Amino acid sequence: MSETLIGLVARYSPSGQEQEAVEWLTERMETLGFNQAFVDAAGNAVGVMGSGARQVVLLGHIDTVAGEIATRVESNGSAEGGMLYGRGAVDAKGALACFVDAAAKAGRREGWQIVVIGAVEEERDSDGARFILDRYQPEFVIVGEPNRWDRIGLGYKGAAYADVIARRPQSHSASGRQTAAEAAIQAWLDIKASVEAYNTAEPRLFDQLLLTLCEIESKEDGFEQWARLRLRTRLPLEMSPEVWYARLSAIVSDAKVQRVGYAIPAWEGEKNHRLTRTFLSAIRSQGGVPSFVYKTGTCDVNIVAPVWKCPALVYGPGDSALDHTPNEHISLDEYRRAVNVLSFALIELAR
């Protein structure tokens, strides 16, 4: 059952370099009996099992962060045991391979298409997920991220990047005037204090603002000094990107705030619908005690769920604490359990 997982992890595919892995995965889906397997115009790997009018979309991502890790399996002596090491084993080729194997195990379901998508560029601007928004109309969507085999992801925070830029006229160092670098540091302290004050009323991490200072840069040209802070903020449901940008501009009124990249609102799924109930039953069928998880990160569910407006959740094997780490690895036994859970769920959803 681990052939798809091992083969996919062995094809190193950081964002922007996914082609080899995409081509391998489409060939793998053909071998496993998918009706169609192709590379779309965005570079996504797509496989379709079945030919019905109704759709379940399994959206994973095939790109990883940079940093190649030699692919290897360390056995623990059992037939299905051992650990697979390699970049993407957890984030998130484990989930994507699970989608492929589960769709193959579930097979063709009358009246339904099971569409598996290995999207590109998720670790950057989610170009692959954005490309498919107007190309599918699923009744259910399952997004692949590591949450362990017995947990269901029902919440992901939003994200907003911004540059805060302070400018000051050039002056002599003995003048005592505030420099652009000093103004930028003061802006950071003011922003941080405001975020901490907001968070005091929100005991749950999922409901807090999570602020990160990613970059600092300072320069001068003989006439003017400027300093730039690159901020990333994880947003709660109660704060849209637009509200956050306005709040940020008010905090640093003597500096300029520039939006960077795409801003993404937070997302929360529903507990009481058929998709979630089916996964709860599927996890119990494999001897698990299911639970829900609300993550502080952001993923492609934030992009597709608001557009498709269908029941959605996030599922996949692996320990997210190992995301992006040099020790990234996944349990093959957990992978097997996740494939069984998902195939069970697909069969039930397509009844």
The domain 158-264 having CATH identifier 3.30.70.360: the answer here is yes
- pLDDT beyond 60 at 87: yes
Considering only CA atoms, which of 303, 256, 267 is closest in space to residue 162?
256
- pLDDT beyond 60 at 79: no
Rg of the chain taking only CA atoms, in angstroms: 23
Peptide bond preceding 166 in cis form (omega within 30 of 0) = no
Map tokens 């000094």 to a residue.
225
CA distance 36 to 50: 9
Same CATH topology for 3-156+267-349 and 158-264? no
* Choice among 63, 145, 328, 333 that is catalytic: 63
CA distance 183 to 295: 34
Q: Which pLDDT band holds residue 80 (cuts at 50, 70, 90)?
A: low
Please count the CA atoms within 13 angstroms of the CA of 139 that sit on its side-chain side.
Answer: 15
348 is catalytic: no
* Choice among 101, 121, 122, 319 that is catalytic: 122
Hey, what amino acid is at 315? Y
- pLDDT beyond 70 at 77: no
Least confident range from 105-119, 130-144, 162-176, 299-313: namely 162-176
Enumerate the domain spans of the chain: 3-156+267-349, 158-264
Q: Which pLDDT band holds residue 177 (cuts at 50, 70, 90)?
A: confident
Q: What is the pLDDT of residues 5-41, one digit of tens each?
A: 999 999 999 999 999 999 999 999 999 999 999 999 9
% of the chain with per-residue pLDDT over 70? 97
CA distance 40 to 35: 15
Read off the pLDDT of each residue in 190-215 and give the average, rounded to a whole number.
Answer: 97
Q: What is the pLDDT of residues 89-112, one digit of tens each?
A: 999 999 999 999 999 999 999 999
Beta strands in the chain (DSSP E): 36-39, 45-49, 54-61, 72-74, 83-85, 112-119, 140-144, 151-156, 158-169, 210-220, 224-235, 256-264, 267-268, 291-295, 312-315, 329-331
What is the residue-averaged pLDDT of the chain? 96
Burial class (CB in 10 A: 0-12, 13-18, 19+), 80: middle
Read off the pLDDT of each residue in 221-225 and give the average, rounded to a whole number.
Answer: 88
Q: DSSP 3-state assignment of 231?
A: strand
Beta strands in 106-255 (DSSP E): 112-119, 140-144, 151-156, 158-169, 210-220, 224-235
| Full-model pTM | 0.93
Q: What is the pLDDT of residues 269-279, one digit of tens each?
A: 999 999 999 99
pLDDT at position 171 is 74
CA distance 95 to 114: 15
63 is catalytic: yes
DSSP code, position 70? -
CA distance 274 to 271: 9
Q: What is the pLDDT of residues 315-345, one digit of tens each?
A: 999 999 999 999 999 999 999 999 999 999 9
User: What's the CATH architecture for 3-156+267-349?
Assistant: 3-Layer(aba) Sandwich (3.40)
φ, ψ of residue 170 to 5 degrees: the values are -65, 135
- CB-CB neighbours of 273 under 10 Å: 14
For residue 81 the two structure tokens come to 């045991």
CA distance 165 to 171: 18
